Structure 1
Amino acid sequence: MHEKLDIDHLPTLTEMLYHWEQTKPDDVFLRQPSGGQWTTYTWAESVDQIRRMAQYLSELNLPRLSKIAIVSKNCAHWILADQAITMAGHVSVPLYPNLTANQLNEILIHSESKVLFTGKLEDWDLMKEGVPKGIHGIALPLSTESTYSRWDNIMEQTQPMIENPIPHSDNLVAILYTSGTTGTPKGVMLQHNNYQLAVRAVQKVLSVINKPHRFFSYLPLCHVAERGVVETCGIYSGGSISFVESLDTFVQNLQDTQPTIFFGVPRIWTKFQLGVLAKLPQKKLDLLLKIPLLSTFIKNKIKKGLGLSKAEILVTAAAPCPQSLHEWYQKMGLSLLELYGMTENHGICTIMPLDAMQMGTVGTAYPDMDMKIDPESGEILMKADWVMSGYYKEPELSAQVLADGYLHTGDMGEMDAQGYLTITGRIKDTFKTAKGKFIVPGPIEWGFALNSDVEQICVLGRSLPQPIALIVLSEIGLSKSQEDVLHGLKETISQVVQNLVDYEKIKKAIIVHEPWSIENGILTPTMKIKRNVLEHRYTGKLEEWYSHPETIIWEQVSTA
C-alpha cells in the first residue's frame, strides 16, 4: 500500500482501517500496558471492535452526523471509540480528561453531544456531575463507571458492521475544543478532507507514512497535535501505537516501546534534559563529550535511557522551542524537528527542513499553502485547504479569524527572504507597562531555557514600570543552596537583558514556592501558562515585589 499510495488522493482514515484489516490482519496495531504487562490488539481485532461499536451506535438511531463525545485518558479503546464514531457516520467530540464538572457540562451542551464515552479518569465521580441528563453513556474497559453501557458487553452482544461505509470528504469528522489560555473553549470544526490534505502536506516534506512506524501516546489525544502525529499517522502508516499507563511508569513504557517517531512539547523535552542533568551535571557532561572514546558511549546511553535509541523523527511543537534546547539535543545526537501550527489549521503551518535547519526559527511553510506577515500588527496569516471550516456555532468569530480568506493565527512573527519563520510572541500575551511601552514576554522567557535550575517562568508587568519574572525552580534548583541558585539566576538575567532595550529589561525575579500545574488551574491541558490566572493570583504582591530592594526575591511561604 505504501508504494502505491497516491499522495494527491489519500483515502480517509476509515478506508485505511479497511485496508489494514485485509492486508495485515495479524500485525499489532495497539499496545496497552497494565502492571508491567502489555495487551496487544491486532488490526483484525481492532477493526472488529470498531465495527461492533459502529453497529451499536447505528442501532441507537441517532440523526446522521450526531455529536458523540469521548472523555478519557489515552488508551487503546480511546482510538477504537474515536474510529467507531466515524465509521457509524457521526462526529467525534474529544475532551480533555481533566475537565471540571462545569467545563464538561459547558462543552457537552454546546456541542449537543448525544452519546458520551468515558474511560480512564482520575476524578470521574466529580466530573460526572457535569453530564447533562439524557446523554447515553458508554463506559470503556478502564472506566470506573458502573451505570453506563459497558464496552465489553456491547462487544459480546453486537455483531460487527458488515458493510464498509466510506465517509464523504466534505463531512465533519471532529470538533476539537481548544484549551485556550483565556476565555471559553472554542469548537474547531474539522472535515475528513482536512485530515487527508494535512497528511498529504506533511508527506511531501517528511515521509511519515511510507512504512509502519512505532508511536508512543501520552499527550492528550483530544489535542490536534497528538491526533495528527500519533492517531492519524499511526493509521496511515499502518504502524503501531503504544500507550503510557501512568506517570510512574512513563519511562519504562517509553523504553519498552522504543518509538521510531516521538512527539513532545518543549516542556517535555526540558524535563528529559533536566532528568539527564540531575544524574550527569552539565560541566561533567561537556567534559565527557569531548573525549572521543566516551562521547559515543555517553550519547547512546542517554538515548537508551530516554527510550529514544530507535527514534528516526523527534518532533517538538505546540509552543516555541528555545534555540538553546535544540542545541543541547543536537550535542546528544538528537535533532528535534520543529513544527508550528494550531488547532485551527490542523497543526500544519511550518516545518523545519531536516537538511536545512535554521536555529531560532520554526522552519518554512508546507507545500500547497500561503503564509504572510501582517505589516501593521506583525500577525502571522496563512491559508490552506486543510484550515478549519470555522468554530462550531460561532459564525461571527469564525468570520473574524478567517477574514479575507486567511487564518489569523494570533501569533506574531517575522519571515526572512528564504521563508523561514521566527515566532516573536503572542498578540494576546503582549502587555503595556506603566511607562506605556509594549512588552512581548515570550522571547524574554525563552532566554532562561539554558538555566537548569528553572522549571517554569512567566514574565508579567501589566501596569508596572518594567516587567518582572515569576520562576518555579526545577528539582535540580531545589536541591541547591539559595546562594548557588541566586548566583546562576543573576548570570542568566544579565545574559538575557543584554539584547533588550531598557524598558524590556527584567526588574525583579521572584522564586515562587508552588509549582504551576493543570490541577491548580495555572496550566492548560497542553501545559501552557495562563498569564491572566497568575496575574490575578498575585494581585497586590506584584507591586510589593517590585518595590523590594533585592533583585531576586524568594516568595515567603504563609504559615497560617
Structure 2
Amino acid sequence: MTVASSTSYPVDQLLYWAEQAPDVTWMIQHEAGAIRTMTWREAADEVGRMASALKAQDWPAGSRIAIAGMNCAHWFLADLAIQMAGLVPVGIYARQASKTTGWILKHCEAKAIFIGPMPSAVAADMLQQGLPKDIVTIAMPYDASPVSEHTWAGFARSHLPLRRYEKPSADTLATLVYTSGTTGNSKGVMLSYGNLAFTSAVFREVIPSKPGERLFSYLPLAHILERVAVEMASLYWGAEVYFLERVEKMSEQLMETKPTRFVAVPLVLSRLQASFTARIPERQLRALVKRRWLGPLLRKRMVTRLGLQHSRALFCGAAPVPQATLLFFRDVLGLDVYECYGQSEALYCSMNRPGAQRLGSVGKPFSDANLRLSEEGEIQVRHPGVMLGYFNDAKQTKAAFTSDGWLKTGDKGRFDHDGFLYITGRVKEIFKTAKGKYVAPGPIEAAFMGSNNDIDQCCLVGAQLTQPVMVVNLSLTALTKPREEVEAGLLADMERANAPLEDHEKIAKMLLVSERWSSESGLLTPTLKVRRNEIEARYAAAVTQVARRREVLVEWQ
C-alpha cells in the first residue's frame, strides 16, 4: 500500500484508505468482554454521517467542538468528523477537575461535546459538573459513556455521509490543544493544518513505516503526543490501532496487541521496569541475561510478557526519563527507547533515532527544525510546526515569542559537540534557596529516582529553604516492605544523586508521603507530570518542619 501525499491532512488520509483498502480493519475496540472492529470503509461512512449532522447545526465555520472520554474508536471518529465539517476539535482529559473542564469549555466557547467512556463514576461526575448549561452533549456508543442529550446514532441517523470535503488551507486552525496547566490556567494552543502536516511528515521520515504496523492507544488523546504518534500515524501508515479498555487491563491488552511501535511517558516505562525488578533484583537480572544460553531465553520471555516482542521502536517524551530506566530497557530487555523532545506549542523538535542516539539526550533536531539557545540557556524554536498562538490570549501569545519570531519553550538546555540536545530544566521551575543560590530541580529528581522501585514520583522543593528537600511519593511496593529496607535504599539514592552536585544543590532531607499522587488529586497532570506548585502548597508545612529537624529522612504520611 502506498501512503498518500505528505501534504494531505487527516481527513484526506481517511478517505484515501477507505478507497484503497475499504475492507481492511483499522480499529479494534474492547468493551465488556466483546471485541468490536471497524474497517476503513465503515469508519469513513460513520465520519461522513456525523460530519453531515454537525454541518446541519449551522454553527459558524471554525466553531469549537469538544471531545471527552477515554481512548476509543469513536474518539478518532469524532475528531475526524469535526474536521470534515469545517469545525475545530478540542480534547478534554477523562481525568480532570470539573473546574478545569468548565474553564476550558467556556474559554473556547464550545458549541457541543462528544462524551465517550469514562474511567470511573467519579470522573463522569466531575465531567458533568464542568459542563456549561447550554452545551450540546452527544454520547458515544459505549456502556461507560454518561447519559447525554443525544446518542451518537440518534444525532447522525437521518444524515447521509458528507460527500464533499472542502480541504482547508495550511494556515487554517485545525485543533486546540489545552496545556496541562502545571502553573495556572490551561492555555489553548492553536495548531494549524500546516503544523500537523509538517509534524507528521517529519515523524514518518525519521521512522519510516513497514507493512503490518500495529499501534496501541492508551495515553490521553487530549494530549498532542498521542494524537500525532498514534492517531495521525495510523492514518498516514494505514496501521491497525488497538484501544486500552481499562487501566487494570494494560498488561493483558499490551500482550494481545503486540504493537510494532510503542509510545510512553517516563512513569509508564518506570512501572514496566518495576514489574520485573520488584520480584527479581535488577543486579540479578543483569547477571542472568549475560549467561550464554539462559540470557537470550530469559530476555525473550520478559519482552514477550510485556507484549513488545514485535516493537521496532519505543518512543518516550513529555518529561525526562531516568537514565537508569533507559539502561534497564537497553541492557536487560534489549530494547532501545528513543527519547524525543517537543511540546504542544512546537510539536516535535528533536529525537533520538536508530543510528543516532545518545543516552541522556533528546536527540538531534530534525533537519527542518531550527533550535537555538538564548543567553540564559533557554531553548528557542522556529519551524513549520510551531503554533499559531494561544486562543483568545494575545498577551500570552506575544510573551511566548521573541521579537524576531522564535518560540520561547521555557526549557533550558545545552548542545554537546555532536549536536545532541540535553534538557537541563525548566526556566520557571528553577528556585532560589535562602542562601541566594539557584537550583534546577528536574535533573536532580531524575538522578534521584534512578531505578528504585520504592519511588513512584518525587519533587524537589527549596524556595527560601537553606537547603533543598526531596518530597518522595512512595510506590505501592514500598508500602509492603519493612521501613528500614525502604529507608536504606532512599538514603543510598540521595547519596548517589548528591555526589556530582554543588553544595547548594544537594538534597538535605527527604519527606516521605504515601498519599497517591494522581490527576484526580490534582498533584499530577493528566499526562502524569508533577504539578510542582500544587506539591509545594500541599506539603509546605510538612517541608518546613522537616527542614528544621535533624533527621535526614522524615515522616510517613
| TM-score past 0.5 threshold | yes
The Cα of 1:443 is off from its aligned counterpart by 1.1
Deviations 1:365-390 (A, max 9, x none): 01112111112x11001100111000
Equivalent residues in 2 for 1:205-216, closer than 5 Å:
205-208=206-209, 211-216=211-216
State the distance in 1 between where 2:527 and 2:45 align.
Answer: 32
Instruction: Give the stretch that moved more between structures: 105-114 or 118-127.
Output: 118-127
State the distance in 1 between where 2:102 and 2:471 align.
Answer: 33
User: Residue 46 of structure 1 aligns with which residue?
Assistant: 43
Contact kept in structure 1, 2:65 and 2:90, CA below 8 Å: yes
State the distance in 2 between where 1:265 and 1:146 align.
Answer: 32
Q: Does 2:450 align with 1:449? A: yes
Provide closer, same or farther for how the CA distance between residues 324 and 534 of structure 1 changes in structure 2, counting only shifts above 3 A: same
The Cα of 1:184 is off from its aligned counterpart by 0.5
Equivalent residues in 2 for 1:212-361, closer than 5 Å:
212-331=212-331, 332-346=333-347, 348-361=348-361
Secondary structure, aligned partner of 1:405:
coil
Instruction: Give the stretch that moved more between structures: 146-155 or 494-503.
Output: 146-155
Equivalent residues in 2 for 1:348-427, closer than 5 Å:
348-375=348-375, 377-403=376-402, 404-427=404-427
Instruction: Give the stretch that moved more between structures: 388-397 or 133-142.
Output: 133-142
User: Residue 132 of structure 2 aligns with which residue?
Assistant: 132
Deviations 1:123-168 (A, max 9, x none): 3234223222322221111254434111122344322112233232
What letter is aligned with 2:116?
A: G
State the distance in 2 between where 1:514 and 1:147 align.
Answer: 34
Among candidates 40, 46, 66, match of residue 63 of structure 2: 66
State the distance in 2 between where 1:33 and 1:440 align.
Answer: 43
State the distance in 2 between where 1:147 and 1:530 align.
Answer: 32
State the distance in 2 between where 1:350 and 1:265 align.
Answer: 16
Provide closer, same or farther for how the CA distance between residues 355 and 147 of structure 1 changes in structure 2, counting only shifts above 3 A: closer
Identity across the alignment (%):
35
What letter is aligned with 2:26?
A: F
Contact kept in structure 1, 2:266 and 2:319, CA below 8 Å: yes
Contact kept in structure 2, 1:56 and 1:158, CA below 8 Å: yes
Deviations 1:15-68 (A, max 9, x none): 111110001011111111023332100001111100010010011111111111
Secondary structure, aligned partner of 1:292:
coil
User: Residue 72 of structure 2 aligns with which residue?
Assistant: 75
State the distance in 2 between where 1:131 and 1:322 align.
Answer: 38
Provide closer, same or farther for how the CA distance between residues 52 and 6 of structure 1 changes in structure 2, counting only shifts above 3 A: closer
Deviations 1:379-426 (A, max 9, x none): 001100111000001112111212221110000001122211111001
State the distance in 2 between where 1:542 and 1:48 align.
Answer: 57
Contact kept in structure 1, 2:96 and 2:126, CA below 8 Å: no
User: Residue 523 of structure 1 aligns with which residue?
Assistant: 524
Secondary structure, aligned partner of 1:285:
helix
State the distance in 2 between where 1:251 and 1:294 align.
Answer: 24
Contact kept in structure 1, 2:138 and 2:155, CA below 8 Å: no
The Cα of 1:212 is off from its aligned counterpart by 4.7
Contact kept in structure 2, 1:351 and 1:365, CA below 8 Å: yes
Provide closer, same or farther for how the CA distance between residues 393 and 450 of structure 1 changes in structure 2, counting only shifts above 3 A: same
Among candidates 93, 115, 119, match of residue 112 of structure 2: 115
State the distance in 2 between where 1:293 and 1:551 align.
Answer: 45
Segments of 5+ residues of structure 1 without an aligned counterpart are: none
Secondary structure, aligned partner of 2:514:
coil
Contact kept in structure 2, 1:344 and 1:388, CA below 8 Å: yes
Among candidates 27, 30, 35, match of residue 30 of structure 1: 27
State the distance in 1 between where 2:253 and 2:319 align.
Answer: 25
Instruction: Give the stretch that moved more between structures: 471-480 or 388-397.
Output: 471-480
State the distance in 2 between where 1:543 and 1:11 align.
Answer: 56
4+ residue stretches of structure 1 with deviation over 6 A? none
Provide closer, same or farther for how the CA distance between residues 514 and 147 of structure 1 changes in structure 2, counting only shifts above 3 A: closer
The Cα of 1:6 is off from its aligned counterpart by 4.5
Secondary structure, aligned partner of 1:435:
coil
TM-score (norm 1): 0.95
Instruction: Give the stretch that moved more between structures: 262-271 or 323-332.
Output: 323-332
Deviations 1:471-492 (A, max 9, x none): 1222332332111122212222
Contact kept in structure 1, 2:52 and 2:156, CA below 8 Å: no
Contact kept in structure 2, 1:94 and 1:176, CA below 8 Å: yes
State the distance in 1 between where 2:454 and 2:540 align.
Answer: 26
State the distance in 2 between where 1:249 and 1:301 align.
Answer: 20
The Cα of 1:277 is off from its aligned counterpart by 1.1
State the distance in 2 between where 1:37 and 1:291 align.
Answer: 42
Secondary structure, aligned partner of 2:247:
coil
The Cα of 1:247 is off from its aligned counterpart by 1.4
Contact kept in structure 2, 1:14 and 1:167, CA below 8 Å: no
TM-score (norm 2): 0.96
State the distance in 2 between where 1:215 and 1:244 align.
Answer: 11
- Between the two proteins, the alignment pairs up a number of residues equal to 550
CA RMSD of aligned residues (A): 1.5
